[in-house]
Structure 1
Amino acid sequence: MLAISSFFIVALEQSLACPFCAAVGLTFSQEIKQSEAAVIARLIEPPPASALGPNAEGPLPQAKFEVVNVLKGEDLLRSTNLLDANTLIDAIMLEATTPGNLYLIMGIEPPEFIWSNPIAINERAVTYLKKLDQLPESGPDRLAFFQQYLEDKDDVLARDAYDEFAIAPYDDVRGLENRMDPTALLSWIKTPSIPSNRRRLYATMLGICGTPAYATEIEKILLGEDLGDDSSDLRNGLDALIACYVVLVGPTGLDLIDKLFLDRSSREIPFTETYAAVMALRFLGEESETIPRERVLESLRLLLNEPKLADLVIADLARWQDWSVIAKLTAIYVDATPENIFVREPIVNYMKACPLPAAASALVKLREIDPEAVRRAATLAGLAGLTAATKEDLPTEQPSAAPVRVADVVADDVTTDRSMVVSTGSQPEIKESRPGNGPISQPENALSKNFSLRWFFWLTIVVIVAFLSRYLLQPGKRDAAG
């Protein structure tokens, strides 16, 4: 079971964070929820210019604001007289600006209140903010509101709308299928100036609502045809573009993906492109209802022909119980050189996870060839096993799996550092979130926090051990270390 649990790290990527995702900013809704008061305020008195200079001394400069609208905490504000006509809010402000401008300001710790940095907004943003508490907590109807603001001319609103989609469960986005505009999505995908994380979102959405006719344009991007100087920009977000293309075309679309990004027998393929394809395949294997998992596995197995990259997919093969490559993996283990010796640990864990007698026999052979690799694999598997939830760690009614969020397929650029790919699969990115304002003494919160800390601590150890193992086993490194 410890061997199998080491492969669960890959599965946890989907519920915690995508391994290639940049952190998603807090949405306005999240920030307001975490505050005890939130107001639309008008700047009355900017901070003094003398306090804004690079050599200014003393406390941080403050500005004075009058409350125009209350978004949250009206009773608290009224009880502290902050809604009186002559009462102003003092908030730290580090820029020179013009009186009369509108800002969103949030506060905590009444009755004195600690106020956030003011966020400049316009009248359209005020209308937007006033509607937030009228929306459903989740679901397609909530996303339908934010969809109107994707690529809005006001970048503040466009960013918030994107963030709402990025934190939404993938099923909620799929529920919006009939209300999406595939033509607009394709237009945004083909706009070079669109940030890569947004292009990933739009490709994911196009895969939901598009038809095979749209795949032709995505195929041109994958092929790099007629893109001119915009080629590198349009191919940012390659993982989501690959997934979009395959979903639109169907299983036969993987034939092109194999040729372009996975079959390295006849030409050099940049590692980042192969890695993007693997990320897309993982998503398809978990979420697609139209692409058979066996066909996804067929594509993943192509990387076993490239021993230096085999560790990218071994964990996926085990997680999806593909036990057809015992002989292939044994041969890779036997033939491993100092350049790819790190592949031995995931192979050992694959054999331990496999229930077939052939795997047990192979494991005996692997131990004879390199007992140290078997020992290292056991260490990594043991540490990974400590990350598995126990009955004491979690509430008894916790669901078996968290829903996949769009953030799991929306990302900034994939890593180009091979050392960041640990032997149990690609490295999950750990995202920290700000705590909410609910009572921290609740048993569920305490247990969840304790489990999260343990998970983070042991995963950090796993990553460090894997990195050092790979580093020291590279040519020349072992001698230098000695």
Structure 2
Amino acid sequence: MKPNPRSARLSRLVVALLAVLLAVLLAGRMPAASACPFCSAVSLTFSQEIAQSQVAVIARLVEPPTSASLSPRSDGPLPKGRFVVVEALKGGDLLEGAELLDVDGVRQIETIMLEVKPAGTTYLLMAVEPPKLVWSSPIPVSERGIDYLKKLADLPAKGADRLAFFQKYLEDADDTLARDAYDEFAVAPYDDVRGLESRMDPTQLLAWIENPKVPANRRRLYATMLGVCGTKADADRIGAILANTEPDPANAEVRSGLDALIACYVTLKGPEGLDMVDTQFLDRKGRNVPFTETYAAVMALRFLGEESTVVPRERVLQSLRILLGEPKLADLVIADLARWEDWSVVDRLGELFEKADADNLFVREPVVNYLKACPDPHAAEVLAKLEKIDPEAVRRAATLAGFAAALAVPKPAEGAPAATESDGDPGDPSSQPGAAASPVTSSPATEVSAAEAALAARIPPVLGDEDATDETVAIDPARVEAGGELKATPMAPAVVKVGSTPAANPWVSTLGRWCGVALLLAAVAVLSRMAMRSSGAA
């Protein structure tokens, strides 16, 4: 039975619509830019958790749950432990009027506890909704941890001086403190990290980077920090790590976090460092370079093009253009070329569009978006020619970009709070639906010229899969088959978020967004049904 061309086209469109829906929903939940461009916070920091609570106390366990209550076969209520307050870190006045247990004249806190610990163990407990108080799960803290928690309230809200405190606890013997210190760096602005340059210890950072027992997410942070404070000699040590491709487990661990290591190396080495990156990770002709390594290099180049002044952007673009010679990987860099206004490859991309086959048809949509963004009249001529070759690809690129723009969640100006469903104090009238929004004044740093905004609005950027994972380079798993080979999949443009936007009612914004999602899902369902009918008819 011959395949039905109409059914195949509908199926591809269904897949593309689902891809853009996922990209838009992920974009709407993207975290703010973090200090470590290659890593993300593992969890909320202690400071964030305490700030979100109304009461925070150091408490001592006086009655742990019974072993029987913790058994998987237990049919009773969830096990609970009882605690007495040792010291209030926040909300002492609320604690005084709270409804606590009274055991022989001693006020006790009772909360769910899912482990057996000896009586006398100290914990951090946090609560909301006084006076009844709903308590969090207890977090065990050592004596050093208690001292650490007491100091948090006196730290600056942001800046290098704040990070200087947490730097002392990186890789601390108390893993709870080490994790929290890492998370503080992961959520701090990158400029704050650069402000810490004179107080960093490059020797210690390099030792952590070369230690295979250090987790990959932390290695990414330490490589980013070394890029701020390191020397040419440090660059040579990092270069040796990059060049060592021996497959033994210890070496593989040291090379995890490859994107940050590449960025660190080039930052310390200068533009000449890109020569090695081009040769080892980007020029794949006649060589079996793992896709994850090439992707890591692209991630590093994006960082260098956006955050670093060490390497001229034209030199970064020169490296990115190497991948245009790889039909299955060219879509990784086309949006970057457009975003940085490299209009030198119009004809080359037109040729890439024409020669695309079943293995890389997904490259056609990014090419169309590039040509639409290009101000050169020649780009419009090339686009008109390509539309005759594959009008569906041109139409699909416009459709997907339109869906993405309609469902985009505006990015607030720097300094303005992000409006989410969970924002706002329920007791604050200004946080309720319909309340007048407070005016937000844009700082000069966040202002975008009309020309820049117009350009950016026409460039759908790369997929929002750039958040690095803890263990490996962040890639789209749908693009790697079981054997590790790259698989051709349609590329859905993600969403551009530019400049500041007027304050909007979060309830209206949320309702509108989910209505859009519902409409898109309905469209996908209809197209899927049409595709199945067409298949059956064939």
For Structure 1 versus Structure 2, the TM-score category normalised by the shorter chain is: 0.7 to 0.9
Match of 1:88, SS state, is strand
Letter in 1 for 2:441: E
Cα–Cα, structure 1 residues 298 and 247, in superposed 2: closer, same or farther, change >3 Å?
same
Kindly report which structure 2 residues correspond to 1:38-437, keeping only aligned pairs within 5 A, or say none. Answer: 38-80=56-98, 86-224=106-244, 228-386=248-406, 387=408, 389=410, 397=441, 411-412=469-470, 413-417=472-476, 419=478, 423=491
Q: Quick check: 2:101–2:110 contact (8 Å CA) kept in 1?
A: no
Distance 1:359 1:86 in 2: 78
The alignment-based identity, stated in percent, is 56
1:36 is aligned, of 32, 49, 54, to: 54
Match of 2:83, SS state, is strand
Q: Indicate the larger mover: 263-272 or 379-388.
A: 379-388
Distance 2:520 2:277 in 1: 32
Cα–Cα, structure 1 residues 93 and 112, in superposed 2: closer, same or farther, change >3 Å?
same
CA drift at 1:54? 1.6
Cα–Cα, structure 1 residues 226 and 53, in superposed 2: closer, same or farther, change >3 Å?
closer
Distance 2:508 2:182 in 1: 31
Distance 2:535 2:346 in 1: 32
CA drift at 1:389? 3.8
Distance 2:286 2:357 in 1: 22
Q: What residue in structure 2 maps to residue 3 of structure 1?
A: none
Cα deviation code 1:436-478 (max 9, x no counterpart): xxxxxxx95x635765786798799999999xx9xxxxxxxx9
Distance 2:521 2:198 in 1: 42
Q: Indicate the larger mover: 9-18 or 200-209.
A: 9-18
CA drift at 1:423? 2.4
Letter in 2 for 1:187: A
Distance 1:164 1:449 in 2: 30
Q: Indicate the larger mover: 379-388 or 160-169.
A: 379-388
Cα–Cα, structure 1 residues 426 and 275, in superposed 2: closer, same or farther, change >3 Å?
farther
Match of 1:346, SS state, is helix
CA drift at 1:50? 2.3
CA drift at 1:30? 0.5
Bigger relative contact order, structure 1 or 2 (CA pairs below 8 A, ≥6 apart): 1
Alignment RMSD (CA, Å): 3.6
CA drift at 1:59? 1.4
CA drift at 1:250? 0.3
Distance 1:180 1:237 in 2: 20
Q: Quick check: 2:60–2:83 contact (8 Å CA) kept in 1?
A: yes
CA drift at 1:397? 3.2
Distance 1:461 1:277 in 2: 38
Q: Quick check: 2:40–2:187 contact (8 Å CA) kept in 1?
A: no
Cα deviation code 1:384-409 (max 9, x no counterpart): 22227499x9965356759xxxxx87
Q: Quick check: 1:222–1:235 contact (8 Å CA) kept in 2?
A: yes
Q: What residue in structure 2 maps to residue 447 of structure 1?
A: 505
Distance 2:356 2:218 in 1: 40
CA drift at 1:96? 1.4
Letter in 2 for 1:352: K
Q: Indicate the larger mover: 299-308 or 10-19.
A: 10-19
Cα–Cα, structure 1 residues 231 and 63, in superposed 2: closer, same or farther, change >3 Å?
same
Q: What residue in structure 2 maps to residue 436 of structure 1?
A: none
Q: What are structure 2's unaligned runs of at least 5 residues?
A: 1-22, 413-418, 420-436, 448-465, 480-488, 497-501, 528-533
Distance 2:259 2:357 in 1: 30
Cα deviation code 1:320-363 (max 9, x no counterpart): 11000000000000000010011000100100001110100011
Q: Quick check: 2:258–2:473 contact (8 Å CA) kept in 1?
A: no
Letter in 2 for 1:277: A
TM-score, reference length from structure 2: 0.75
Which segments of structure 1 move beyond 6 Å, counting only runs of 4 or more?
Answer: 8-14, 17-20, 425-428, 452-466, 478-482
Q: What are structure 1's unaligned runs of at least 5 residues?
A: 1-7, 403-407, 429-442, 470-477
Cα–Cα, structure 1 residues 113 and 236, in superposed 2: closer, same or farther, change >3 Å?
same
Q: Quick check: 2:41–2:183 contact (8 Å CA) kept in 1?
A: no
Q: What residue in structure 2 maps to residue 5 of structure 1?
A: none
Match of 2:62, SS state, is strand
Q: Quick check: 2:317–2:337 contact (8 Å CA) kept in 1?
A: yes
Distance 1:158 1:314 in 2: 39
Cα deviation code 1:241-286 (max 9, x no counterpart): 0000000000110000000100112312110000000001001100
